[in-house]
């Protein structure tokens, strides 16, 4: 779960990281009012869940309240990488002497949390990593000890020649490490970490991503969730207790168990198809889960066929078959369905499905090939219909 800059800054501040004050406005008038209260130049910053707001015109300096109002007027409602700006952060402008980069990331290759710091801050760090990787200093943190003081100071010295600034940065890294750990983050980033002409080290931007699987123990952060920009179907699935990830293909998959779901997606690709999603309905045969899963898949216009793949271990196949029949009876989908059930009470299950005219198999290879074939048939039938439609319309719609 991503936090907005203003939310992340509140967290950083509560851990003792020096962050400029700031307030959020949803209207230009409010932004002007906040600027008037600060009584000095401010920066008006779009609050959306994407990076590179500065380059996109979503971060603007304003000398006085009237200009702050005008800047907010321009930024509110702006589209930044497909997201509409609904809030701006108004913050007193800092004078910048230098801009650095600092972050704790989850390094999957090193299998631990890793600090990344660079003197090349303020800009796109991906670009730095690609073009001048030698400008990035990395330090993996041993989870047994956490970030040790001498390591923090080493990172500080990687950014600043001035010892006082290096020490200030080391303090910030210690706090950033605690944010990462105690708030179950997968990313805690400051870009830019600036020095002011007076020599202070300050976090001008803040990015914090919380591990979704830890939200149960981060209720205060969970309450800050802003779904703007997230896949609606994924939100719907989460609410229904399903693990669902939307993909780009045409074969919708309903599978029980994450491992089987992965294997199913692999096999679809092996036979030349493309999965439309990852979906694990879990171990129960609850018809509601099947129903919700069906609704979510059918809401995706790219889905041309649904592949239903269930392994009955503790889950009984006949229960699942009954759930499936009930679900299909309610939804009456117009996309074709290929079904595979195997395991406990498989025979009974196949019989239940056969009785209502739903062909099913117990072979995984067979069902995957069948689903791909059904999707292809439907796509080409749709293509033929579109051509026929254009011909009937005399081609005037072209
Ligand atoms: P991002 O583009 O989404 O990462 O947004 P940032 O918060 O990092 O802002 C982009 C750039 O705007 C920064 O790298 C700074 O150069 C500039 N900026 C942001 N806040 C201030 C400020 O308070 N004073 C000044 N002078 N520049 C700022
Ligand atoms: Mn930034």
Q: What is the pLDDT of residues 25-55, one digit of tens each?
A: 999 999 999 999 999 999 999 999 988 999 9
Lookup: tokens for 390: 């254009």
The pLDDT value recorded for residue 396 is 43
What are the percentages of helix, strand and coil residues in the chain, rounded to 5? 45, 25, 35
State in Å: Cα 104 to ligand 2 middle: 15
The pLDDT value recorded for residue 194 is 98
Residue with CA closest to ligand 1 atom 20: 204
Residue with CA closest to ligand 1 atom 3: 53
Measured distance CA(11)–CA(15) in Å, rounded:
7
The pLDDT value recorded for residue 323 is 85
Is the pTM for the entire model greater than 0.75?
yes
* Burial group, residue 102, by CB count within 10 angstroms (0-12, 13-18, 19+): buried
75: closest CA among 122, 123, 38, 43?
Answer: 43
State in Å: Cα 175 to ligand 1 middle: 22
Domains detected in the chain:
21-92 (3.30.1490.20), 98-222 (3.30.470.20), 232-386 (3.40.50.261)
Q: State how far the alpha carbon of 261 is from the alpha carbons of 1, 243, 271, 280, 312, in Å.
A: 23, 11, 16, 6, 14
State in Å: Cα 204 to ligand 2 middle: 8
Q: Is any ligand 1 atom within 6 A of the Cβ of residue 43?
A: yes
Which of 96, 98, 203 to probe ligand 1 with, by most ligand atoms within 8 A of CB? 96
Q: Is any ligand 1 atom within 6 A of the Cβ of residue 52?
A: yes
Please state the atom number of ligand 1 nearest to the C-alpha of residue 45. Answer: 7
Q: Is any ligand 1 atom within 6 A of the Cβ of residue 22?
A: no
Measured distance CA(309)–CA(330) in Å, rounded:
20
Residue with CA closest to ligand 1 atom 11: 54
The pLDDT value recorded for residue 285 is 62
The pLDDT value recorded for residue 228 is 82
Q: What is the pLDDT of residues 283-303, one digit of tens each?
A: 766 778 888 888 899 888 999
State in Å: Cα 183 to ligand 1 middle: 25
Query: Which residues make Cβ contacts (< 8 Å) with residue 38, sequence separation at least 6?
Result: 21, 90, 92
Read off φ and ψ for residue 105, nearest 5 degrees. Answer: -120, 165
State in Å: Cα 18 to ligand 2 middle: 16
Please state the atom number of ligand 1 nearest to the C-alpha of residue 207. Answer: 4
Which of 6, 19, 71, 204 to probe ligand 1 with, by most ligand atoms within 8 A of CB? 204
Ligand found nearest the CA of 4: 1
Instruction: Per residue of the chain (398 residues), give pLDDT as tens.
Output: 999 999 999 999 999 999 999 999 999 999 999 999 999 999 999 999 988 999 999 999 999 999 999 999 999 999 998 899 999 999 999 999 999 999 999 998 889 999 999 999 987 888 999 999 999 999 999 999 999 999 999 999 999 999 999 999 999 999 999 999 999 999 999 999 999 999 999 999 999 999 999 999 999 999 999 888 787 888 888 888 888 989 999 999 999 889 999 999 999 999 999 999 999 988 766 778 888 888 899 888 999 999 999 998 888 888 888 888 988 888 888 899 999 999 999 999 999 999 999 989 999 999 999 999 999 999 888 877 777 777 665 444 44
Q: Is any ligand 1 atom within 6 A of the Cβ of residue 47?
A: no
Ligand found nearest the CA of 123: 1
The pLDDT value recorded for residue 124 is 84
Q: Is any ligand 1 atom within 6 A of the Cβ of residue 123?
A: no
Q: Is any ligand 1 atom within 6 A of the Cβ of residue 204?
A: yes
Catalogue the active-site residues. Answer: 101, 189
Q: State how far the alpha carbon of 65 is from the alpha carbons of 44, 94, 147, 285, 309, in Å.
A: 11, 16, 43, 60, 61
The pLDDT value recorded for residue 100 is 98
The pLDDT value recorded for residue 393 is 53
């Amino acid at each position: 779960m991503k936090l907005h800059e203003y939310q992340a800054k509140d967290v950083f501040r509560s851990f003792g990281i020096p962050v400029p004050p700031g307030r959020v406005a949803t209207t230009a008038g409010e932004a002007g009012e906040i600027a008037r209260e600060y009584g000095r130049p401010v920066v008006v910053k779009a609050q959306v869940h994407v990076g590179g707001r500065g380059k996109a015109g979503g971060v603007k300096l304003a000398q006085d309240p009237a200009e702050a109002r005008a800047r907010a007027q321009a930024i509110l409602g702006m589209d930044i990488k497909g997201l509409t700006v609904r809030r701006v952060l108004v913050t007193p402008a800092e004078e910048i002497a230098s801009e650095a980069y600092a972050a704790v990331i989850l390094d999957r290759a090193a299998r631990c949390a890793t600090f990344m710091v660079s003197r090349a801050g303020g800009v796109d760090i991906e670009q730095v990593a690609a073009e001048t990787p030698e400008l990035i200093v990395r330090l993996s943190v041993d989870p047994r000890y956490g970030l040790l003081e001498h390591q923090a100071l080493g990172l500080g010295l990687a950014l600043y020649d001035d010892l006082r600034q290096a020490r200030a940065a080391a303090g910030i890294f210690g706090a950033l490490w605690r944010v990462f750990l105690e708030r179950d983050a997968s990313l805690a980033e400051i870009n830019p970490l600036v020095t002011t002409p007076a020599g202070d080290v300050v976090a001008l931007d803040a990015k914090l991503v919380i591990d979704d699987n830890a939200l149960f123990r981060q209720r205060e952060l969970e309450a800050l969730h802003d779904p703007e920009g997230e896949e609606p179907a994924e939100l719907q699935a989460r609410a229904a207790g399903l693990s669902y990830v939307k993909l780009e293909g045409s074969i919708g998959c309903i599978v029980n168990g994450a491992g089987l779901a992965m294997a199913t997606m692999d096999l679809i690709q092996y036979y030349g198809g493309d999965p439309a999603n990852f979906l694990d309905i879990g171990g129960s045969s609850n018809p509601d889960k099947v129903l919700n899963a069906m609704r979510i898949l059918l809401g995706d216009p790219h889905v041309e066929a649904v592949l239903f793949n269930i392994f009955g271990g503790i889950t009984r196949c006949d229960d699942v078959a009954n759930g499936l029949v009930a679900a299909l009876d309610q939804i009456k989908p117009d996309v074709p369905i290929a079904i595979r059930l195997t395991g406990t009470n498989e025979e009974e299950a196949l019989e239940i499905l056969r009785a209502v005219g739903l062909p099913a198999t117990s072979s995984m290879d067979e069902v995957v090939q069948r689903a791909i074939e059904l999707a292809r048939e439907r796509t080409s039938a749709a293509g033929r219909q579109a051509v026929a439609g254009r011909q009937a319309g005399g081609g005037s719609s072209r």
